[in-house]
C-alpha cells in the first residue's frame, strides 16, 4: 500500500468523535502523532475552518506529510519534536488553547515498512528503532545495559515471561560479538526460549522488539507527560482522543482519563456535589472502542487498537489557571 493510499486505523470513527469539538470557524486540532498525515488530511478535508498543529519527531515523516498536505497550505503548523512538547508546539502556532488533541500511539506504518529503521522483526535490518534522530539505538542498549536493566525493560515494557533467559543470552552473546541486526536478535531469542514457548502463536521476538522500541524512544515516559498537558490544553467543549495499541499505553491513558472524569475529595453521604468538586471532563466513549472485524481484515494492524475519548465540560479552576 502506498503512503498516498494509506488509511489510518479507525479514521472515520476518529473524525466523527472529533467533529463536535472542531465545528467552530477557528478550531485548532493538535495531531500529536502526525506520521504520514492521514488523520490530519481527513480533518482538513472535512472541516474548512480547522487549523492543525502537527507534531512528529521523525523528520522523514514530516517531509512526507508536508507533501501530502501541500493542498492545505496555510492550515497546518508543522512541529519537529516529541509530543510531550505539546505546549511548545501550541505556542509555536501562536495559540494558548486548542479544541482537540489526537494521539495515535506506537510505531507508525511508515517506520515499520522501512527496513533501515529496524522496527520490524520480520526482515533483516540494523537495530536502530529510533523514531527521531536523538538518543541511543536498540543495538547500543543491548550492548551497554547490564543484565538486570535488560531484564527490567523486557519484563516491564514487553511483558516477557522469559526476560531473564533472554537477558542472559544477550550478555553471553555480546561478550564475543555485538548484536547489530534484527535477524540476529530474532535468532538469539529463539535459541533462548524454552521449547514450550516456541509453540505459541506469533514471532517469539515480538515482545522483545516492543520492549526495546519503548525504551529507545521513552514512549511511556513521553505519554505520561503528554496526556496531562493535552487535558490542560483543551478549552471547554474540547476533546482529547487516544488510540493505544498495547496495554501499557492504554493503562496510562485510562488512568489519566479516569482521574479527570471522577469527583474527588467528596465527603461520604454528601447529598449534592458542589460545583467546584464536579469533574472537569466527561467520558465520551464507554470504556475502550475497538476496530470492527471488517477493518481488522482489511488492516491487521488495527486489531489491538483501543480508542478512548474525553471532553472538557468545565473551565480550569482558578488556582490551576494561575
Residue 43: per-residue pLDDT: 97
Tell me the CATH architecture of domain 11-104+219-321: 3-Layer(aba) Sandwich (3.40)
Which residue spans of the chain are classified as CATH 3.40.50.150? Answer: 11-104+219-321
Domain with CATH 1.10.150.170 in the chain: 117-217
Task: Name the binding residues for S-adenosyl-L-methionine.
Answer: 37-39, 56, 83, 104, 111
> What region does 124 belong to: left with phi over 0, alpha with psi -120 to 50, or beta?
beta
pTM of the predicted model as reported, rounded to 2 decimal places: 0.88
277-313 pLDDT per residue, tens: 789 999 999 999 999 999 999 988 899 999 999 999 9
Report the CATH number of the 117-217 domain.
1.10.150.170
Give the DSSP letter string of 244-273: ESSHHHHHHHHHHHHHHHS--SPPTT-SS-
pLDDT in tens, 5-18: 567 899 999 999 99
What is d(CA 30, CA 243) in angstroms, rounded to the nearest whole number?
14
Numbered residues of the known binding site: 37-39, 56, 83, 104, 111
Task: Give the whole-angstrom CA distance, residue 78 versus residue 85.
Answer: 13
pLDDT tens digits for range 206-230? 899 999 999 999 999 999 999 999 9
Amino acid at each position: 500500500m502506498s503512503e498516498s493510499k494509506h488509511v489510518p486505523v479507525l479514521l472515520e470513527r476518529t473524525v466523527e468523535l472529533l467533529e463536535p469539538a472542531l465545528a467552530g470557524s477557528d478550531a485548532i486540532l493538535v495531531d500529536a502523532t502526525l506520521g504520514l498525515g492521514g488523520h490530519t488530511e481527513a480533518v482538513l478535508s472535512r472541516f474548512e475552518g480547522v487549523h492543525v498543529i502537527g507534531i512528529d519527531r521523525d523528520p522523514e515523516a514530516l517531509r512526507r506529510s508536508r507533501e501530502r498536505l501541500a493542498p492545505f497550505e496555510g492550515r497546518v503548523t508543522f512541529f519537529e519534536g516529541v509530543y510531550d512538547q505539546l505546549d511548545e508546539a501550541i505556542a509555536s502556532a501562536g495559540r494558548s488553547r486548542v479544541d482537540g488533541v489526537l494521539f495515535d500511539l506506537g510505531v507508525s506504518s511508515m517506520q515499520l515498512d522501512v527496513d533501515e529503521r529496524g522496527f520490524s522483526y520480520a526482515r533483516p535490518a540494523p537495530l536502530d528503532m529510533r523514531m527521531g534522530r536523538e538518543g541511543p539505538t536498540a543495538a547500543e542498549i543491548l550492548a551497554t545495559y547490564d543484565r538486570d536493566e535488560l531484564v527490567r525493560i523486557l519484563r516491564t515494557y514487553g511483558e516477557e515471561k522469559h526476560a531473564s533467559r533472554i537477558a542472559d543470552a544477550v550478555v553471553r552473546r555480546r561478550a564475543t560479538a555485538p548484536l547489530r541486526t534484527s535477524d540476529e536478535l530474532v535468532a538469539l531469542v529463539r535459541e533462548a526460549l524454552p521449547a514450550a514457548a516456541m509453540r505459541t502463536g506469533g514471532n517469539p521476538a515480538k515482545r522483545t522488539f516492543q520492549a526495546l522500541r519503548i525504551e529507545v524512544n521513552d514512549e511511556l515516559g513521553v505519554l505520561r507527560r503528554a496526556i496531562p498537558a493535552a487535558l490542560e490544553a483543551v478549552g471547554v467543549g474540547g476533546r482529547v482522543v487516544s488510540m493505544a495499541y498495547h496495554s501499557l499505553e492504554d493503562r496510562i491513558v485510562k488512568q489519566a482519563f479516569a482521574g479527570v472524569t471522577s469527583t474527588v475529595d467528596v465527603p461520604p453521604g454528601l447529598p449534592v456535589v458542589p460545583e467546584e468538586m464536579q469533574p472537569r471532563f466527561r467520558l465520551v466513549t464507554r470504556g475502550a472502542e475497538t476496530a470492527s472485524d471488517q477493518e481488522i481484515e482489511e488492516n491487521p494492524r488495527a486489531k489491538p487498537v483501543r480508542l478512548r475519548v474525553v471532553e472538557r465540560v468545565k473551565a480550569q479552576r482558578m488556582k490551576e489557571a494561575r
